[in-house]
Structure formats: C-alpha cells, structure tokens
Structure 1
Amino acid sequence: MISEIKSAFSENRFAIILSVATLLISLVLGYVLAPSLHSFLNPVAEDLSRKVEEGVIQLTFGDIFLNNIQIVFQMFIYGIALCFSLVVLAFNGFFVGYYVANAENLYYTLLLIVPHGIFEFSSCILACASGLILFNFIFRFLRSLWNIENDSVRQSLKTAFDESSIKLKQAVIILAVASVLMAIAGFIEVYLTIPIANFIVNF
C-alpha cells in the first residue's frame, strides 16, 4: 500500500505542482487585490460570519470537517470538467488571501490560520490534484476506447477501462490522503488552534 501511495504521488507530480501553484497565486492575488475583491468576497465573508453567529454553522469538529470535506469532494468530482477543480481551489485561495488582508490583527489572524492551515491547504492541494488525475483517467479511457477496433461494446469498455484504471486508482488514493489531512486539520482547528495562538501571544 505504501508503494502505491508513493507511485500515485510520483507519477502525478505535474497535477500536484499545478495545484500548489494555483493555490499560492490565488492566495497572493487575494491579498494584493483585496480592495478590488471586496464587493465580491465581502458578502461571502459576512454570510459565513452570520451563519456562525446564528448557529447554522457551529465551530465543532463535525461541522467544520463536514464543510471542508465537501470542498475536497467537490474538487475531486469537478475534475470531470478539468478546470473546475482549479476554480474551486483558486476561489478558496482568493478568499483566504482576502480574509488575511482585511484582518485587524494580522499577527493573531495568522496564528489562527497557520496551525490547521498547513494540513487544510495540503488537503485542498491534493484534492484538486485528485480531480485533475480523474480527468486524466477519463481522457485515457476515451482515447483507449476510440482506438479499439473489432471488439464488442462490452469487451471494448473492459479493455479501455483496464488500460486506464491505474489513473482512477491513483486519483482515489490521493483523495483518501486529502481526506485524512482534512480530518487532522479539523481536529487542530477545533481543539488546538486557539490554545496554541493564545500561548504564543502570551509567551
């Protein structure tokens, strides 16, 4: 199993690097272009704050993990349309960059983001990459199906799937790793982030 995980990462480095670049660029642009993004992202931030205040979203491990894991699976499923995985990742990067840029206390805000953000951002990067790999699987499957001649429909589908299934398996493996990282991020965000931030500030 360890070797399969290593292969999934090593054979899909481009998808992972592209996801890393998308997140970093969107974070920077979200921060730099915060004034221009205000009319677009501020309603999202206000709606999120309202839902937390009203108890629609509770800052419990279950609610936070459920909300974040939905984003993870969105990026995976949206891989069917290639760019939409990157769009979801970029939107989240823009939002975080915008949020940090508008923070009243930048130092304390970063302390509240970084501990769980290390795992959450890593999870989002891998989730996006898994979506891109899913697209790769679909592309390979259709290409193999197109090139098969003189087979029954059922046999053609089986042959095409066998030739491309490694990418589907790798996409699922990376999605599973992303899910585990998101669970760790949720645990840290709920139980450790504020105590760590307060400890560092007091220290």
Structure 2
Amino acid sequence: MFNEFKRAFTENKRAIYIAIVILIVSMVLGYFFEPYLYKYLNPVVEDLTQKVQSGVVKLTFADIFLNNFKIICEMFILGLLFCFSAVILSFNGFFVGYYVAFSGNLFEVLLYIIPHGIFELSSCALACASGFVLFNFLYKFLKALLIQEDGSFKNKLANSFDSSYDKLKQACILFVTSVILLIIAGFVEAYLTIPIAEFVIGVLG
C-alpha cells in the first residue's frame, strides 16, 4: 500500500508542482490586484460574512469540511473536462489573496488563516493535481481504445482500461490524501485556529 502511495506521488510530480504553482500565482495575483477584483469578489465576501453572522453558515467541523469537500470533489471530477480543475483552484487562490489584501491587517489575517490554511491549501492543490491525473487517465484510455484494430468493442474497452488503470488508481490515491488533509484542516479551523490566533494576538498585543 505504501508503495502505491509513493508511486502516485513520484509519477505525478509534474501535476502536483503545476497545481502548487497555479495556487501560489493566483494567490499573489489576487493579493496585488485586490482593487481590480473588488467589484467581482467583494459580493462573495459580503454574502459569506452575512451567512456566518446570521447562522446560515456555521463554523463547525461538519459545515467547514462539507463545504470544502464539495470544492475538492469538483476539482477532482471536473479534471475530466480538459483539466478544468485548474480554473476552480485559480478562483480559490484569487479569493484567498484578495481576502488577505482586503482585510488590511496582514499579520492578523494570516494568524487566522495559516493554522488550518497549511492543510486546506495543500488539500486543494492535491485535489487539483488528482484532477489532472484523472484527465491523463481519460486521455490514455481513449488513445489506447482508438489505436486498437482487432477484437470486439468490449475487449477493446477492457484492454484500454487495463492499460490506463494505473492512472485512475493514482488519481484516487491523490484525492484520498487530499480528503485526509481536509479533515485535518477542518478540525484545526473549527477548534484551534481562533484560540491560537487570539493567544498570539494577546501575547503580542
């Protein structure tokens, strides 16, 4: 099992690195282009703030996890649509960068983001990478299917699936790892982020 996990990461390093670069670049752009993104992203911030204040959205482990789980599922599944995962990851990166810039107090907002953000952003990057690998599986499957000349269509499907199965398995391994990181992130955000941030602010304030 360990070897399977190791292979999933080593054989798909490029996909993981690309996802990390997309996330970092989008966050940096979101931060520096905050004035230009205001009219597009501020309504999202205001809507989220209003829902939290009204109790529609609760900062419980279940709510936090389920909301983020929906996002990483979209990144995984929509990877089949020509790596559309990258668009979803970019939007989330833009939003994080925008929110940090919009909040004004860089040190304080980072205190409220970093404890769980380390795990949550890593989870998002891995989910995006798993979407890339899933697209790679689809590409290999269709390529293998089209180049076969002999045999029934059923056998062609079976042979194509067998030849590309490794990529499907590796995509699922990356996604499961992403879910594990998201569980950790949800726990930290629900129970540890605010106490840690308040403690540091209290000590330094």
Structure 1 distance, partners of 2:183, 2:82, is: 25
Assess if the C-alpha contact under 8 Å between 1:82 and 1:131 holds in 2: no
Task: Report the CA distance between 1:54 and its aligned residue.
Answer: 1.8
Confirm whether residue 152 of structure 1 aligns to residue 152 of structure 2. Answer: yes
Structure 1 distance, partners of 2:154, 2:14, is: 33
Gaps of 5+ in 1: none
Structure 1 distance, partners of 2:77, 2:55, is: 29
Structure 1 distance, partners of 2:200, 2:53, is: 27
Which segments of structure 1 move beyond 2 Å, counting only runs of 4 or more?
A: none
Structure 2 distance, partners of 1:3, 1:186, is: 28
Q: In the comparison of the two structures, how many residue pairs are matched?
A: 203
Letter of the 1:134 counterpart: L
String of CA shifts for 1:146-173, please: whole Å, max 9, x gaps: 0111110110000000000100000000
String of CA shifts for 1:7-59, please: whole Å, max 9, x gaps: 00000011001000000000000000000000100011111111112211111
Structure 2 distance, partners of 1:3, 1:197, is: 38
Normalised TM-score (structure 1): 0.98
Structure 1 distance, partners of 2:9, 2:35, is: 37
String of CA shifts for 1:81-110, please: whole Å, max 9, x gaps: 123100000000000000000113221110
Structure 1 distance, partners of 2:201, 2:46, is: 27
The aligned counterpart of 1:79 is: 79
Letter of the 2:166 counterpart: I
Aligned Cα root-mean-square deviation (Å): 0.7
Letter of the 1:19 counterpart: A
The aligned counterpart of 2:193 is: 193
The aligned counterpart of 2:39 is: 39
Normalised TM-score (structure 2): 0.97
Question: Counterparts of 1:108-123 in structure 2 under 5 Å?
Answer: 108-123=108-123
